[in-house]
Amino acid sequence: MSSLTREEVEKVSLLARLRLSDDELTKMTEQMSQIVSYVELLNEVNTEDVEPMAHAVEQFNVFAEDEPHQSLPRDAALSNAPKRDDECFRVPAVLGD
Amino acid sequence: MALYEASATQLLSQLEAGEVTSVEVTQACLDQIRQHDGEVGAFLQVMDEKALAAAAEVDRKRKAGEPLGALAGVPVAVKDLLCTEGEVTTCASKMLKNFVPPYSSTVIKKLEAADAIILGKTNMDEFAMGGSTENSALGTTRNPWNTKLVPGGSSGGAAACLAARMVPLSIGTDTGGSIRQPASFCGVVGLKPTYGRVSRFGLIAFASSLDQIGPMARTAEDTALFLEAISGYDPSDSTSANVACPLFSKTVDKPLEGLRIGLVKEHFGDGLHKEVEGAVREAVKVYESLGATVTDISLPHNKYGIATYYIIAPSEASSNLARFDGAHYGHRCDEASMLEDLQKEKEALEAAGDELGLKKMDTPLIRMYRQSRAEGFGPEVKRRIMLGTYTLSAGYYDAYYLKALKVRRLIRDDYDKVFKSVDVIVGPTAPNPAFAAGSKTSNPLAMYLEDLYTVTANLAGIPAISIPCGTTADGLPIGLQMQAPALEEDRLLRAAYMYQKETDWHTKSPAM
């Protein structure tokens, strides 16, 4: 049975772009270990030569006609931005400090 | 019968006959909401004025003899994860508490085109993750049959408002049972259509290969009418099924001759509530009395459904919810205090001479993402994002995600085999009736295991319906689930209609 370490869970929290408090990390480690142990039930299934099924309906490329059309106007697209200027979303500086 | 108790089909005939106006019907529903929603909490938002204005416009059109849509003047509730232009759409999350979509989902547009009256937006588990609506960050919904109990979830508000006779039609969504389980807990009808039957454009995504929007109502007839209004191919959703949409409302009252029912052996094992089992077996007898034949069948990979689902759904969720980054829309942390905290952390690490710690420190942008998401998401959403990120991460992808996709095919193959010899699979929707609020919140895995009968239809992409088929000694509703092959919603609706013609469980309403 698999058990996740606190360090692993902390690493996943960075990948997931989530900041977890110490208490949350403790609880998350315990609960994720429990759930991951449960899903390992799948190990008993023989899946040799089984094609993975990503979608309920087998999907093929769906092409749209190459016709220009109106997209969402910029102002509408920016209308929910937590921070913006006239043209762009604003975020904290990415480079340097 | 009071207007708020009437079915959509009854209301339409009264409206067409000029016996009532849409304004009267809408007002009756709004009054019912005002009177009882304090206790039930089905709605996050009620759009009184807009609804009454829309109703008045339908009345005017009807009087003027102008063409009208299929649901003209009938009030409808919508689960609060369908983008509605100009109206706050929250997903019951702090993340989207103030989100006003700049466009409407296809289903909302179809409801508008059908001249339905959108009354309000219903409560749900945050981002549709949960089975009790207790994961809503914005409100508490209780079961109208007993307000100490949960309504089920994630479409808990959608089911509760139907049971409480606040509205005749209600839109839900179902990723692993989120329409059927609350329908079962609240004693109403809920249909999860075939994957692709209803456009997902403008639906805030949870797990894209499993999510499906569907109709909830109190009768099979209404469900058929409602499904017909929201179905159809949509070029804006590349996964929507490009097939003709049957006129479900025209065939729903035609009984199925020689119906072949399959009973899944594995569904009647340990963990199934005795009274639920009893009600389901009684319902099967009703079908037998109508000429149906019953065979025992086996779906050997069904028992892996939960494990498969709780790898695939969180994996897809972790990817879908990456869009909530505090930059484009949704909640963003307070930047000044975030930068201040970072500076303090940096100084502390420098003072301690912790080189490694300094190297590992978040940049301001990464911290903005992490802090915003930490504040915006509730515990269940975080748990699923974490699980999905883990099962998709380097070194674990093959062992978890890919493995689950393979078992998913085996689950589907089981169905394909069984549907060669039976027309519908009948069984319980949920192993138990509605449970007490707070009784399962501390154990996520126990909550997940409640989905065992419903998740496999989503994994296989097939349609499934839940209809009321009895009550427990305590007077709580019990749901009967029926599953059919892809694109055979018509069969489910007709089977449901046959049953409702013989029984009166669907007419029972809670004492309010």
CATH at B159:
3.90.1300.10
Question: Within a domain: residue A57?
Answer: no
How many other C-beta atoms can be found within 10 angstroms of the C-beta atom of residue B63? 10
Minimal-distance CA residue of chain A relative to B456 = A56
CB contact under 8 A, A19 and B386: no
Predicted pLDDT at A56: 82
Question: Within a domain: residue A92?
Answer: no
Question: Within a domain: residue A87?
Answer: no
**Do B198 and B333 have their domain in common?**
no
**Do B369 and B444 have their domain in common?**
no
Mutation choice for B interface testing from A9, A10, A11, A18 by most B CBs within 10 A: A18
B241, B365, B445 member nearest A38 (Cβ): B445
Contact B369/A at CB under 8 A: yes
CB contact under 8 A, A56 and B330: no
Inform me whether the pLDDT recorded for A94 exceeds 90.
Answer: no
How many other C-beta atoms can be found within 10 angstroms of the C-beta atom of residue B502? 12
Question: Within a domain: residue B243?
Answer: yes
- Interior angle at CA B254, CA B253 and CA B257, nearest 5: 140
Q: How many domains does chain B have?
A: 2
Q: How many domains does chain A have?
A: 1
ipTM of the prediction = 0.95
Distance of residue B481 Cα from the nearest chain A Cα, in angstroms: 20
Predicted pLDDT at A3: 86
CB contact under 8 A, A38 and B307: yes
| Cβ A31 vs Cβ B384: under 8 Å | no
What is the full per-residue pLDDT of chain B (512 aa) written as tens digits? Answer: 899 999 999 999 999 999 999 999 999 999 999 999 999 999 999 999 999 999 999 999 999 999 999 999 999 999 999 999 999 999 999 999 999 999 999 999 999 999 999 999 999 999 999 999 999 999 999 999 999 999 999 999 999 999 999 999 999 999 999 999 999 999 999 999 999 999 999 999 999 999 999 999 999 999 999 999 999 999 999 999 999 999 999 999 999 999 999 999 989 988 899 999 999 999 999 999 999 999 999 999 999 999 999 999 999 999 999 999 999 999 999 999 999 999 999 999 999 999 999 999 999 999 999 999 999 999 999 999 999 999 999 899 999 999 999 999 999 999 999 999 999 999 999 999 999 999 998 899 989 998 999 999 999 999 999 999 999 999 999 999 999 999 999 999 999 999 999 999 999 999 98
**Do B330 and B472 have their domain in common?**
no
Question: Within a domain: residue A63?
Answer: no
Q: Which domain holds residue B196?
A: 3-255+427-507
Q: Which residues of A touch B459 (CB under 8 A)?
A: 56
SS3 call for B297: strand
Distance of residue A86 Cα from the nearest chain B Cα, in angstroms: 14
Question: Within a domain: residue B401?
Answer: no
Single out the residue in B360, B376, B392 at which a domain terminates.
B376
Question: Within a domain: residue A27?
Answer: yes
Q: What is the CATH number of the domain that holds A33?
A: 1.10.20.60
SS3 call for B454: coil
Question: Within a domain: residue A86?
Answer: no
Tokens encoding B251: 């065939």
Minimal-distance CA residue of chain B relative to A8 = B390
Tokens encoding A60: 């093929």
Q: Which residues of B are catalytic?
A: 79, 154, 178
Question: Within a domain: residue B223?
Answer: yes
Question: Within a domain: residue A10?
Answer: yes
Q: Which domain holds residue A19?
A: 1-45
CB contact under 8 A, B405 and A83: no
How many other C-beta atoms can be found within 10 angstroms of the C-beta atom of residue A48? 6
Predicted pLDDT at A96: 59
Helices (H), B259-363: 274-289, 305-320, 335-352, 355-360
Q: Which residues of B touch A93 (CB under 8 A)?
A: 364-365
Contact B382/A at CB under 8 A: yes
Q: Which residues of B touch A55 (CB under 8 A)?
A: 195, 209, 239, 461
Residues 6+ apart with CB under 8 A from A39: B307, B310, B311, B400, B404
Q: Which residues of A touch B330 (CB under 8 A)?
A: 80, 82
Minimal-distance CA residue of chain A relative to B375 = A19
Question: Within a domain: residue B153?
Answer: yes
CB contact under 8 A, B100 and A80: yes
**Do B62 and B121 have their domain in common?**
yes
Distance of residue A26 Cα from the nearest chain B Cα, in angstroms: 12
Rg (CA), chain A: 22
Predicted pLDDT at B1: 87
Q: Which residues of A touch B310 (CB under 8 A)?
A: 35, 38-39
In DSSP terms, which residues pair with B182 in a beta bridge? Answer: none
Provide the residue type at B37 as one letter: D
**Do B12 and B155 have their domain in common?**
yes
pLDDT bin (cut points 50, 70, 90) of residue A1 is low
Crossing angle (nearest 10°) for helices A6-15 and B379-392: 90
Minimal-distance CA residue of chain A relative to B101 = A80
How many other C-beta atoms can be found within 10 angstroms of the C-beta atom of residue B15? 21
Question: Within a domain: residue A77?
Answer: no
Task: Please give the interface size between A and B, counted as residue pairs whose CB atoms are below 8 Å apart.
Answer: 173
Minimal-distance CA residue of chain A relative to B364 = A92
